[in-house]
Amino acid sequence: MLLLQTTQAAQSGWDNLRDWISTLGSLGAALLAAVAFFWGLRGRRDRAWAELSHQARRVVAWVETIKRQGPLTSPARWPFLAVIIQNNSEEPIHDQD
């Protein structure tokens, strides 16, 4: 028992400092790895968004009023609306869900 107490008491202040430096280095490395991981995720997300918006800028939609032929009093003569979608991109338009 006396030998164990003597050995523990013999540790210098430098041993304690080395432990702190080692701990801070490990925490710094873990923090750097986490930042690099999330930075990589952000880059992939930005590239995917840029690709999607590149296609979206080439798709155009508008509404036109189309008059029908027929008697003036007939509901068949009333105009109706048509939605026109023009895809100028190379990719098809579809729902991603």
Give pLDDT tens digits for 7-56: 555 556 677 888 889 999 999 999 999 999 888 888 888 888 887 777 77
How distant, in Å, are the alpha carbons of 37, 42, 50 from that of 31?
10, 17, 29
Q: What is the reported pLDDT for 72?
A: 62
Nearest to 85 by CA among 65, 67, 59, 64: 59
Q: State pTM to two decimals.
A: 0.39
Q: What is the reported pLDDT for 1?
A: 46
More confident residue, 1 or 14: 14
Average pLDDT estimate for 61-85: 76
The residue written with tokens 């979608």 in the block is 85
More confident residue, 95 or 97: 95
